[in-house]
Amino acid sequence: MRPVELADKVAVITGAGSGLGAALARVFAEAGMAVAALDIDPATAEQTADEIAARFGVPTTAARVDVGDPKAITDAAAHVEATLGGCDVLCANVGVQQFGALDRLTDQDWEWVLSVNVLGTVRTVRSFLPLIRARGGWRRIMVTASSSVLVPGVRLGAYITSKFAVQGYAETLRAELAAEGIGVSVLFPAGMTTRHLETSASARPAERGAWTMLPDDIEVMLASRGTDEASHVVTPDHAVRNVIQELQADNPYIITHGTYRERYQLRTAAMDAAFDRLEQA
């Protein structure tokens, strides 16, 4: 597939104030795209926008967006249209983590994680899709799931459940938008050196209760997934190194990094075995 010229395109990234979102902003800016950096923390969103504008010389804008608030997202879409003229690539990237064994998670835990990770993704796409449709030509939507969808582990039940939902949503969205030439991809990042836990804790509304994590939660989770932390954790910039090429090719799934393919194949083999048993019954 011949690469598309990106210099006149606009990328919109939620959660762009730090970590994976900021790395995505840098990737698109380096490709010559204008970038809208959206984040619940307006200061970090502005920092990302200012950094890439100075470094790459592309148009940028920034706005505070709480994906848990539908009006905030529709307002952001209007802001992006007014400042950058539209949207060609949307990265619905925001996600929060809540550790805890399933029997320890409260209704408030579940409601918060699902509202941000699932409904936040739905709201983001719903608000920006009219801008994407209005552009015509090469257009992409990328939603951020997690490697934990492919190889689940313990003590991340609410987060993993939400990311399973995000994958299902994106796969359906891809089928529904295919006739319009709008590609949809699912990003599966593994561990990264980010502030994700810190930003998750700070983003949790006080009325949802305190954000908690036991001292051994991460250790137990990694052990349950059989992951080697040294090879599983990379910088966000390394994780997104191939995103442009993957989106250009309109690949439905993007694996960023990690050494968990063998464990994933054990899972798919078990599913294949279930089909075998059905066919032999």
For 164-218, how does the pLDDT look when each residue is reduced to its tens digit (9 = 90+)? 999 999 999 999 999 999 999 999 999 888 766 777 767 777 677 776 766 777 7
Sort strands 10-14 and 89-92 into parallel, antiparallel or unpaired.
parallel
Our measurement of the distance from residue 258's CA atom to the centroid of its chain's CA atoms, rounded to an integer in Å, reads 17
**Cα four-point dihedral sign 228, 161, 217, 39:** positive
The first and second tokens of residue 154, run together, are: 């313990």
Residue 2 lies in a domain: no
Residue 75 lies in a domain: yes
Q: How many domains does the chain have?
A: 1
Residue 231 pLDDT grade (very low, low, confident, very high; cuts 50, 70, 90): low
Residue 118 lies in a domain: yes
Q: Which of 159, 169, 253, 264 does the annotation list as catalytic? A: 159
Range(s) of the domain holding residue 39: 10-280
Residue 229 lies in a domain: yes
Residue 149 lies in a domain: yes
Residue 88 lies in a domain: yes
Residue 80 lies in a domain: yes
Percent of the chain with pLDDT over 90: 77
Does 228 have pLDDT greater than 70? Answer: no
Residue 2 pLDDT grade (very low, low, confident, very high; cuts 50, 70, 90): low
CA angle 187, 236, 95 (to 5 degrees): 55
Residue 219: how many other CB atoms lie within 10 Å: 12
The first and second tokens of residue 259, run together, are: 């050494």
The first and second tokens of residue 224, run together, are: 């349950």
159 belongs to the catalytic site: yes
Residue 195 lies in a domain: yes
Query: Can you give the pLDDT at residue 273?
Result: 98
Report the CATH number that the domain containing residue 29 is assigned in CATH.
3.40.50.720
User: At 243, which amino acid appears?
Assistant: V
Q: Which of 44, 43, 33 has its CA nearest to residue 4?
A: 33
Q: Which of 83, 227, 105 has its CA nearest to residue 156?
A: 105
Beta bridge partners, 39, equal: 64
